[in-house]
Amino acid sequence: MSTRARTWLDLARRLPVRDLVCMGDELVRMPRPEFEERETPFTTIEALRNLVGRHKNLQGVVRAREALDLMRVGADSAPESLLRLAMLDAGIPEPELQVLLRPNDPFSPSADLGFRDRRVAMQYDGGHHLEREQILSDRRRDKAFEAAGWTVLKFGKDDLADNFSAATQKIKKALRSAWTDPAVSSGFTRGM
């Protein structure tokens, strides 16, 4: 029997970095007690770093280190992790994860990824977002962001299938548009 963390490290021998990042993000993400029967992550990035450090000669350890540098707490699904990685590959700055519309309100709607300073929110809507109750909840969430002046970009399985190449173009366009909006144009580089 193996721990989740050790299984992740053992899989570094065979899996590409992106898959290791997705698995790692799942291990370190903060669970949502209302949906899961746990309140703490399976492990932490620091604990994984320590594990990797104890196995310096293990096949795949270089890949594991690379994945660790790309892992983040906050991705709630592999597609969210893959979208973030596609953004980085496309030269887009790293987004904030699980962006609350109202930061100090625990009941605030949230975006999967976003740029608060640009008021651009991104959602990855997987299969469960097709259920009626979830559709209504998503509409309320998106309208709240839009009413606050945010641009909301929604992505799904078609975007995942093309490795988010069209999605990253939409994100760049939204960020460029936000750049020209004087209300949100401070603190961002023009490199896109």
Query: How many domains, in total, are found in the chain?
Result: 2
Q: How many CB atoms lie within 10 A of CB 135?
A: 11
Q: What are phi and psi of 122, to 5 degrees?
A: -125, 135
- Examine the domain organization and report whether 103 and 83 are in the same domain: yes
Residue of 114, 6, 133, 23 whose CA lies nearest to 61: 6
- Examine the domain organization and report whether 110 and 32 are in the same domain: no
**pTM for this one?**
0.87
Residues of the domain holding 162: 78-184
Tens of pLDDT, residue by residue, the chain (192 residues): 899 999 999 999 999 999 999 999 999 999 887 778 889 999 999 999 999 999 999 999 999 999 999 999 999 999 999 999 999 999 999 999 999 999 999 889 999 999 999 999 999 987 655 667 777 888 999 999 999 999 999 999 999 999 999 999 999 999 998 766 555 444 444 445
Residue of 115, 83, 110, 109 whose CA lies nearest to 96: 115
Rounded CA-CA distance 66/152 in Å is 31
- Examine the domain organization and report whether 65 and 107 are in the same domain: no
Q: H or E stretch including 115?
A: strand 110-115
- Examine the domain organization and report whether 27 and 94 are in the same domain: no
CATH number of the structural domain spanning residue 86: 3.40.960.10
Residue where a domain terminates, one of 30, 51, 70? 70
